[in-house]
Amino acid sequence: MTNLYKSALAELDVVFDRLNDGDVDKACGMIAAARKTVVFGGGRERLQIMGFAMRLYHMGLAVAVEGDMTTPPVGKGDLFVVTCGPGEISTALALMGVARAAGSKILFITAQPQSRGAALADFVLHLPAQTMADDQGDKRSSVLPMGSLFEGALFVLFEVMVLKLIASLQIKPEAMRANHTNLE
């Protein structure tokens, strides 16, 4: 079993060796500059981006998760962050169209930078990890099933983005802790 852990970690290492850190910085800059940020992801990617939204909230940024009853409208000056590893799902494409029509900027995180979803974005952050778009036959490259490598890489990516945002926005740990819920 230990070899499975090491294999999964080695695969994540390869993903981050191939990631363009300058693009991560640009994505962080878009978040820092946004009046408010709304995030979207489907399935297990949704779980990862919800955790990211929570940290953005802890930093004091205006953020919401698409689909929640309290999600505000987006418009000029706002940012819609979409994660879609396979490059397109119908819900993401539809929501991106609505956000674009409203004047919002779109940051698209994907493993498929040539996809229809990427074409709708203002900026594409390419996270080069296996997804369900390439998990079968000769394309399969991960010991992890389906899109798990992409989803695991999202977690690490988002945590590093949080660190970069904390540094660039000069956010103190005490300020983040003050924004943490007391209803636990």
- State the pTM of this model: 0.94
pLDDT at position 153 over 70: yes
* Domains of the chain from N-terminus onward: 2-178 (3.40.50.10490)
Taking only the tens place, the pLDDT of each residue in 105-116 is: 999 999 999 999
- If pLDDT is split at 50, 70 and 90, which confidence band does 1 have? low
Among 11, 151, 159, 174, which one carries the catalytic annotation?
Answer: 151
> Residue 52 pLDDT > 90, yes or no?
yes
Average pLDDT across the chain, whole number? 93
For 69, counting Cβ atoms within 10 Å of its Cβ (0-12 exposed, 13-18 middle, 19+ buried), the class is exposed
How far are the Cα atoms of 50, 110, 118, 124, 174 from residue 114, in angstroms, in the given order? 25, 9, 6, 10, 41
Spatial contact of 107 and 123, defined as CB atoms under 8 Å apart: yes
Per-residue confidence (pLDDT) for residue 137, from 0 to 100 = 67
Percent of all residues in the chain with a pLDDT value above 70, rounded to a whole number: 92
Reported as a single tens digit per residue, the pLDDT across 120-142 is 999 999 999 987 666 666 766 77
Confidence of residue 2 (pLDDT cuts 50, 70, 90): low
User: At 71, phi and psi to the nearest 5?
Assistant: -70, 125
Q: What is the pLDDT of residue 20?
A: 98
Read off the tokens for 138.
Answer: 């000769």
Catalytic residue flag (residue 11):
no
The answer on pLDDT for 182 being more than 70 is yes
